[in-house]
Amino acid sequence: MSFVFLPPIVIFVLSYFKIHRVLMSLVASSVIIPAIYILTHHFESSYFYADKLGSFVLLVSSIVGIGISISLISLPERIKMSEKNIKKIYRFFGIFWLGVTISILANNMGIYWIGLEFATLSTVYMIKLNNTDVANKQAWKYLIVGVIGISLILFGIILMYSAGKNALNENAMNFYALSLNSKKIEGFLFEIGFLIAVTGMFIKMGFFPMNLWLADIERASIYPIGALFSGILESAIILGFFRLTKIEEHINYSHLIGFVYIYGLITLFIIVFLMYRTKDFIRLFSFSGIEHMVLISLFWVSGGYFAALLHFAAHAFFKPALFLSTGLLEQTKKYLFKGALNGYKNKLVPILVSMLLLGVISLPPSPMFFSEIYGFKAMIDVSKDSHYFLLMIFGVFIVLTLLSVVFYKFVNVYQEAVYESDGNNNKKVYKSEIFMLLWFLTALIGLLFSFDYIDGIIR
């Protein structure tokens, strides 16, 4: 099992030596090897646990990691960075990936928290690699917000551990043991811990009341780091949410539904307002990422596990690809908005970027089109046996109304996109960037043929 953690360690060690960027990208791509292996070789111990859910999340994250590593090949040609800083990107990527892998495979709540701490601290340093006053300021801002979120998660874990200590002894830290013995847990104390921990997770995903920090740091970072935030870091956090909610639903399902729905809808309302006001591609993508995390949370607690996992995977592929392709539009770091997709010698780029922009707003045959259909169906189904059917119908109507504003904003930005060049309208695109876009589109197409597998993850 220990070989699962070998790729990030190798990446970290090699970052101290002079190495060709293409070769380093291949080494970084090796993170997918253990992810594929544990799809069919599940294991369980007191500290780590690879089930279908964890294996799927790790595989999705590793696919994103490969796309980002491909984009790093041409990074020095696009952004002025020293060789030392290029090495630091790989170095912190190794630490980041180690933390994410630990969190995804953790069977122990304490180890899960340690993995999140690894991922959080490494991304603080990656933000600073942009070497601007704004980036330094946002790195400190992220550190403060991250500490708040991580501290709430830790305090919640302590309370949840206390709730199961009398019945399970030291196994009360164990995700799997808590899930199997949820009826023996002291319900009130666990719920308090759950509320605090999930609030910390929501803050780490940019939910209310801290909605702006995520867009600020992704705007200040170099674009591969923004892709890391949008595609991988949230994977570890949302997996913790998945595991804890499966325990909480056996303790008090109505409390779970009420808390997540109220928190999620408040966040969605604020985020849609912020999206409507923005005129910046990067900030639009950042806010949209939070919107998708809200939908995933609502679908999951409503019992729409297939919809939540499909939406999670589609978001993980769409958003990094958009962050990285937006980096192509921002070559001179001058950002107005008209004709951003014009002026390319290689006509494949605007076609690929257009497909991504239209797919992320759930136009068919995007995987998000299907996930939202199944997700809203799950939200209505869960209310049929309760006294809140009409309330749920109204809630779905409100969500769809807010999503229509998101749809409008994406189309509006797409139509009015402006790029201020230095007088040369022929925007250069490197082979690695074309390959990166094709990689993510291939992954998205693969999702359309993976419905049966995703549907069988939670059974």
In tens, the pLDDT along 120-167 reads: 888 888 888 887 888 888 888 888 898 899 999 999 999 999 999 988
- So what's the pLDDT on residue 298? 95
Higher pLDDT, 375 or 384: 375
What percentage of the chain has pLDDT greater than the value 70?
A: 92
3-state secondary structure string, 278-292? CCCHHHHHHHHHHHH
Of 22-31, 67-76, 321-330, 388-397, the poorest mean pLDDT is in 321-330
> CB-based contacts of 109: which residues, under 8 Å, 6+ apart?
157, 160, 161, 173, 174, 175
Residue with tokens 């491909």: 70
- So what's the pLDDT on residue 344? 63
* Coil/strand/helix, residue 185: coil
Higher pLDDT, 445 or 21: 445
* Residue 361 pLDDT grade (very low, low, confident, very high; cuts 50, 70, 90): confident
Q: pLDDT at residue 371 above 70?
A: yes
What are the b/e assignments for 274-299, b being 16+ CB within 10 Å? bbeebeebbbbbbbbbbbbbbbbbbb
Instruction: Compute the distance between CA of residue 198 and CA of residue 156 in angstroms, rounded to an integer.
Output: 8
Instruction: Concatenate the DSSP letters of all residues of 80-115 into one string.
Output: ---HHHHHHHHHHHHHHHHHHHHHHHBSBHHHHHHH
Q: pLDDT at residue 278 above 50?
A: yes
* Residue 342 pLDDT grade (very low, low, confident, very high; cuts 50, 70, 90): low
Of 242-251, 383-392, 396-405, the poorest mean pLDDT is in 383-392
Q: pLDDT at residue 62 above 50?
A: yes
- So what's the pLDDT on residue 341? 63
Looking at the DSSP bridge assignments, the partners of residue 106 are 48
Higher pLDDT, 347 or 67: 67
- So what's the pLDDT on residue 451? 94
- So what's the pLDDT on residue 335? 42
- So what's the pLDDT on residue 301? 95
> CB-based contacts of 449: which residues, under 8 Å, 6+ apart?
none
Higher pLDDT, 202 or 428: 202
In tens, the pLDDT along 80-114 reads: 777 888 888 899 999 999 999 999 999 999 999 99
Higher pLDDT, 427 or 299: 299
User: Cis ω on the peptide bond leading into residue 7 (within 30° of 0)?
Assistant: no
Tell me what the mean pLDDT of segment 333-356 comes to: 64
Q: pLDDT at residue 411 above 60?
A: yes
Q: State both tokens at 423.
A: 């007088």
Instruction: Compute the distance between CA of residue 297 and CA of residue 238 in angstroms, rounded to an integer.
Output: 8
Q: Per-domain residue ranges for the chain?
A: 2-455
- So what's the pLDDT on residue 111? 95
Give the ranges where 181-335 is alpha helix by DSSP (H). Answer: 187-204, 213-220, 223-228, 234-251, 253-277, 281-301, 305-329
* Residue 78 pLDDT grade (very low, low, confident, very high; cuts 50, 70, 90): confident
Which candidate, 323, 299, 282, places its Cα nearest to that of 440?
323
- So what's the pLDDT on residue 340? 58
- So what's the pLDDT on residue 197? 96
Higher pLDDT, 340 or 297: 297
Higher pLDDT, 18 or 290: 290
Instruction: Concatenate the DSSP letters of all residues of 111-166 into one string.
Output: HHHHHHHHHHHHHHHHHHTT-SHHHHHHHHHHHHHHHHHHHHHHHHHHHHHHHHHH
Contact status, residue 122 vs residue 96, Cβ threshold 8 Å: yes
Instruction: Compute the distance between CA of residue 321 and CA of residue 387 in angstroms, rounded to an integer.
Output: 42
Which candidate, 128, 101, 125, 127, places its Cα nearest to that of 47?
101
Instruction: Please state, as a whole number, how many other Cβ atoms lie within 10 Å of the Cβ of residue 80.
Output: 8
* Residue 36 pLDDT grade (very low, low, confident, very high; cuts 50, 70, 90): very high
Q: What is the mean pLDDT of the chain?
A: 86
Instruction: Compute the distance between CA of residue 50 and CA of residue 42 in angstroms, rounded to an integer.
Output: 5
* Residue 271 pLDDT grade (very low, low, confident, very high; cuts 50, 70, 90): very high
Tell me what the mean pLDDT of segment 36-43 comes to: 87
Which candidate, 282, 411, 410, 418, places its Cα nearest to that of 343?
418
Contact status, residue 219 vs residue 286, Cβ threshold 8 Å: yes
- So what's the pLDDT on residue 333? 44
> CB-based contacts of 244: which residues, under 8 Å, 6+ apart?
160, 194, 197, 198
Tell me what the mean pLDDT of segment 232-249 comes to: 92
